[in-house]
A and B are shown apart, each in its own frame.
Chain A
Amino acid sequence: MSESGSTIDQWAESEYKYGFVTDIEADAVPAGLNEDVIRVISAKKGEPEFMLEWRLKAYRHWLTMTEPTWANVKYPAIDYQQIVYYSAPKQNKDAPKSLDEVDPELLRTYEKLGIPLEERAKLAGVAVDAVFDSVSVATTFREKLAELDIIFCPFSEAVKEHPELVRKYLGSVVPTGDNFFSALNSAVFTDGSFVYIPKGVKCPMELSTYFRINAASTGQFERTLIIADEGADVSYLEGCTAPMRDENQLHAAVVELVALDDASIKYSTVQNWYPGDKEGKGGIYNFVTKRGKCQGRNSHISWTQVETGSSITWKYPGCILLGDNSVGEFYSVAMANNYQQADTGTKMIHIGKNTRSTIISKGISAGHGQNTYRGGVRINSGATDARNFTQCDSMLIGDQCGAHTFPYIEVKNKTAQMEHEATTSKIGEDQLFYMMQRGISMEDAVSMIVNGFCKEVFRELPMEFAVEAQKLLEVSLEGSVG
């Protein structure tokens, strides 16, 4: 493999393309966390009383918890008193009604990222609720969605305008005390997205949010809640990039999905936060709790994720299959290059009868990257005729990286059908040789093989996302192959 050493070096040198800091004045509270900070956040968001109480309850619970250490990741201890828990771009008190009112600096940032808001909105028919740090700045296609009574708005707005829905569903999938990071999020989350699809409505367009972390040492605590009422259907996209910075940043988001009878939710993520430099310095800590509840009969929740960024990714989007005949799916591509660490997977909990789940996980490790699949499939005693299929494949590129698989399978019903398969391999030299002798360059050959390896997952992504994901993977892989 020595002849390819130079290619490895070249690729390893490719830098994070999206690293820059936008110079917008931030309106932030001092670093640290106590009940007063939570009160300030709640007051700044103009929240009703019940939200403040909910936050304080979560905070008090959080104080009693200890940070979990079971994940296969290593990072220096986080000082939770050094984090700034609230930061919003300073601008008009009233949220902008249209793109014209949005800070031009902000729009330029998105342009640099290659996300022309207005163009994308028009051409792709995507309604974008862009979150810049913690406050939503622009929402498009609101009217069109409003015609169908679809609610798609920043979380803080939903708290004020639809308190009954928020009250009913917030924390119903991920309770405040679920885990250390979700408790922290519940206490201090600043904004996020809220989606409600009413009965029998099929959302006519892909809903999309671009998250972006800005302002030094601001932890980002997003809260997303998506509810698909009976017979509703929605596809939601989440994509992320973040500016280059030395300090590690904590991101502890919580995403809750609720699918009622016959409803269907598809949640797709492309995550490309700053992974740290070649020595593993800096980068985002992505400790996210994502969970969907198939509450109704015949409901369907599908998670698709492409994780290429973050210095540490630690997340397990899961499904609670409560309703009879409900279906949970998880498709994932996780990539760890340089000193990145990823401990990701899913949890499928079969409770209802005839519930089915599919898990397809593709892990790619390169450089000094460590990639772990950790997944749980539990079939409870009442889940008659439950079915699970799991496939997790790992690809190793370079001899310094690691790929680990930790599945947990618990079956308490004899009618269950459970299959788990995992393979680990490297890119075959014969495959590379074959392609190169056809005149395909080493880099192209590798990217073709990797894309083929991930195809099963990319196929699940909405069209424009699939293209972006493919590109991201190419960029992230640069310099790692030999």
Chain B
Amino acid sequence: MAHVKEDKNTYLAHFDRFEQGGAASDWFLPARKTAMARFTELGFPTTKDEDWRYTNVAPIAKIAFERADRSAIDGVTAAQIARLAMADAVGGLLVFINGHFARDLSIIDSLSAGLHAGSLAAAVESGDAVVKEHLGKHTDSVTQAFAALNTAIVEDGAVIRVESGKKIERPIHVLYLSTSTASPFVSHPRNLIVVGECSEVTVIENYVGLDGAKYFANAVTEIVVGDGAIVDHYNVQREADEAFHIGTRHVRLGRDSCATSHTLSMGGKLVRNNVGALLAGEGAECTLNGLYTIDGEQHVDNHLRVDHAVPHCDSREFYKGILEGRSHGVFCGRIMVREDAQKTDAKQTNMSLLLSEEAQVDSKPQLEIFADDVKCTHGATIGQVDEDALFYLQSRGISAEAARSLLIYAFAKESVSKIKVDALREQLDALLLARLPQGASFRESA
């Protein structure tokens, strides 16, 4: 246990720099202090905690990560960013290098009317009213150690705000790039997305790690969806092989709003996604879509919680996993239907495809229902490539390997096809095919 205690000290030291106060951002200091106190109290979760039963974060706790500094920004070229930016498809780009905002690499000068995007640090500094109203209000920093840690020592992130009644045509791309550094570092990206009444916006949060980078990204995103608004949010995670990623996202849906949260996990060594949705206004519709493809020693844990607090809301959870090597996938979905939330329609699906002898899946699809006039279902399947389908394809002259690839691709495609941003969907499609043997051969028809 000694090392764990020591490591809390690492973060306490990181916290020190905020404690002196005297800055324009002092209004946020009480929240930081409360969160730090909570983190100190909670410590890192262990597998004895029901919510962390299948995910051991000791490897994160063991390493004394350093605070990332801004110097890494200079090492990143515009060409590197261009390759990842999907610049043609997006209406705005915010680039963060090792958690720090890189103004020069970002494209935020010609945003559509009604859209505001920028750095959180600056917004906190200037005491932005919207940030003051929402920052830290939608994420649970009381029981969630990692969210508390983020709140306590967050440095920067993206703030995206859409005024009421605006339809933003092109998606906003928030790119978090982590580079290889001398010693392992930690960053606490924090995003706040506030969408006004009857507006519409698409946000892509993209986490990419460069080869050889070793770091821990502890990200938190809060999304506030105004009444009647439509939000499409993508979390694309392609962290480096040696990276740890804990991502917490919380969506609050207002009346008659519609939010979709996609979680696409490909990279990282140890990844945990906490996705929470609070259906706070009647008639809200929430979709949580997820796909992960992992191999080797990778570990991905998707923890979902959909809270139906009011009547007449719909929710859909659709998570798929493809596991190879000695990878370990975890799914825990919880649908909570509160006492008054009548006429709720909730559906949860979790499907996993096990492709190797040593891969492992743990699934906990849960329902908690306190209202009677509801329709709730959940389903979980775990299996391998269907022998009959394989035989059928082979009988049509497709080689065994290609047939297998085709079936795996088809399995993933169901999730990928839910991605509405063409550039992103094509990019992921290509990534998927690149992973499959003979995948390129049926690229055309796809």
Q: Are A411 and B361 in contact (CB under 8 A)?
A: yes
- Chain A residue contacts of B359, Cβ below 8 A: 414
Asked if A398 and B372 sit within 8 Å, CB to CB, the answer is yes
Q: Which residues of A contact B (CB under 8 A)?
A: 70, 381, 394, 396-426
Pairwise interchain contact B379-A420, C-beta atoms closer than 8 A: yes
Is the C-beta of B40 less than 8 angstroms from some C-beta in chain A?
A: no
Contacts of A403 in B (CB 8 A): 367, 369
Tell me, in angstroms, the Cα distance from A417 to B381 when the chains sit together: 8
- Docked pose: A255 CA to B69 CA in angstroms: 62
Q: Which residues of B contact A405 (CB under 8 A)?
A: 365-368, 378
A397 CA to B374 CA in the complex, in Å? 11
Q: Is B364 close to A, CB under 8 A?
A: yes
How many cross-chain pairs have Cβ atoms below 8 Å apart between A and B? Answer: 118
The answer to whether B357 touches A414, judged by C-beta atoms less than 8 angstroms apart, is yes
Check if A418 sits within 8 Å of B383, measured CB to CB: yes
Q: What mask results when residues 369 to 398 of chain B are scored 1 for a CB within 8 Å of chain A, else 0?
A: 111111111111111100000000000000
> What separation, in Å, do the CA atoms of A379 and B166 have in the docked complex?
51
For the complex, is B109 an interface residue (Cβ under 8 Å from A)? no
- Complex CA gap A398/B342 in Å reads 11
Q: How far is the CB of B364 from the nearest CB of chain A, in Å?
A: 5
Q: Which of B93-111 contact A (CB under 8 A)?
A: none
A407 proximity list for chain B (CB < 8 A)? 363-366, 380
CA gap between A365 and B203 in the complex, in Å: 42
> Could you show 27 A-B contacts with beta carbons less than 8 Å apart?
A381-B358, A396-B369, A396-B374, A398-B372, A399-B372, A399-B373, A404-B369, A405-B366, A405-B368, A406-B364, A408-B363, A409-B361, A410-B362, A410-B363, A411-B354, A411-B382, A412-B360, A413-B354, A415-B384, A417-B384, A419-B379, A419-B381, A421-B378, A422-B376, A424-B369, A424-B375, A425-B376
Which residues of B are interface residues toward A (Cβ below 8 A)? 50, 54, 339, 342, 352, 354-384
Q: Can you name 16 extra interface pairs (CB under 8 A) apart from A401-B372, A412-B358, A414-B384?
A: A70-B50, A403-B369, A404-B367, A404-B368, A405-B367, A410-B361, A411-B352, A411-B360, A414-B357, A418-B381, A420-B365, A420-B380, A421-B378, A424-B374, A425-B375, A426-B374
Known contacts being A402-B369, A403-B369, is A421 close to B357, with CB within 8 Å?
no
B372 and A396: CB pair below 8 A?
A: yes
Q: Contacts A396-B372, A401-B372, A408-B364 hold; do A421 and B384 have CB atoms under 8 A apart?
A: no
Q: Does the CB pair B376–A424 fall under 8 Å?
A: yes
Query: Residue B363 contacts which of A399, A402, A409, A425 (CB distance < 8 angstroms)?
Result: A409
CA distance A422 to B359 in the complex (A): 25
Q: A399-B371, A403-B369 are in contact. Are A411 and B362 (CB under 8 A)?
A: yes
* B residues near A411, Cβ cutoff 8 Å: 352, 354, 360-363, 382
Contact A408 B362 (CB under 8 A): yes
Contacts of B362 in A (CB 8 A): 408-411
Q: Is the CB of B383 within 8 A of A416?
A: yes
The reply to whether B363 and A420 form a contact with Cβ atoms under 8 Å apart is yes
Whether A418 pairs with B377 at a CB distance below 8 angstroms is: no
> How far, in whole Å, are A397 and B366 apart by their CA atoms in the complex?
20
Least CB distance, B131 to chain A, in whole angstroms: 38
Q: Is the CB of B377 within 8 A of A417?
A: no
Whether B339 and A399, one on each chain, are in contact in the complex, defined by CB atoms closer than 8 angstroms, is: yes
Q: How far is the CB of A403 from chain B (nearest CB, A)?
A: 5
Q: How far is the CB of B360 from chain A (nearest CB, A)?
A: 5
Least CB separation from B366: chain A residue: A406
B340 to chain A, nearest CB (A): 8
Q: In the docked arrangement, what's the CA distance between A412 and B362, Å? A: 9
Residues of B within 8 A of A398 (CB): 372
Q: A399-B371, A411-B360, A414-B354 are in contact. Are A422 and B377 (CB under 8 A)?
A: yes
Measured between beta carbons, the chain B residues less than 8 angstroms from A399 are: 339, 342, 371-373
A-B pairs with the 7 shortest C-beta distances?
Answer: A396-B372, A418-B382, A414-B354, A420-B380, A409-B363, A424-B376, A405-B367
Q: In the bound complex, do residue A422 and residue B368 qualify as a contact, i.e. CB atoms below 8 Å apart? A: no
Please name all residues of chain A whose beta carbon is closer than 8 Å to the beta carbon of B360 when the two chains form the complex: 410-412
Q: Which of A396, A411, A412, A426 has the most CB of B within 10 A?
A: A411
Contact of A409 with B369 at beta-carbon distance under 8 Å, contacts A414-B354, A414-B356, A423-B377 already known: no
A422-B378, A426-B373 are known contacts. Are A417 and B365 too (CB-CB below 8 A)? no
Specify which of B50, B356, B360 lies most central, judged by the most chain A CB atoms within 10 Å of its CB.
Answer: B360
Chain B residues near A401 (CB, 8 Å)? Answer: 370, 372
Q: Which residues of the other chain, B, contact A394 by a CB distance below 8 angstroms? A: 367, 369
Interface core residue of B50, B359, B372, B374 (most chain A CB under 10 Å): B372
> Which residues of B are found within 8 Å of A415, using beta-carbon distances?
384
Q: Which residues on A sit within 8 Å (CB–CB) of B372?
A: 396-399, 401, 426
Residue of B with least CB distance to A421: B379
B387 to chain A, nearest CB (A): 10
Q: Could you say which residues of chain B place their CB within 8 Å of the CB of A412?
A: 358, 360
B429: shortest Cβ distance to chain A, in Å?
25
Docked CA distance A419–B379 (Å): 7
- Name the CB-closest residue of B to A379: B382
Contacts of B54 in A (CB 8 A): 410
CA A133 – CA B401 in complex, angstroms?
A: 65
Cβ-closest chain A residue relative to B362: A410
**Nearest neighbor of B328 in chain A, beta-carbon distance:** A412
Nearest to A366 among chain B residues (CB) is B372
Taking the closest CB of chain B, its distance from the CB of A477, in whole angstroms, is 14
Across the interface, which residues of B come within 8 angstroms of A420, CB to CB? 363, 365, 378-381
Question: CB-CB < 8 A to B358: which residues of A?
Answer: 381, 412
Instruction: Tell me how far the C-beta of A183 lies from the nearest C-beta in chain B, rounded to whole angstroms.
Output: 20
Separation of A416 and B356 alpha carbons in the complex (Å): 11
B378 to chain A, nearest CB (A): 5
Q: Which residues of A contact B374 (CB under 8 A)?
A: 396, 424-426
Closest to B363 in A: A409
Alpha-carbon distance between A416 and B359 when the two chains are bound, in angstroms: 11
> Which of B367, B373, B375, B382 is close to A409, meaning CB atoms less than 8 Å apart?
B382
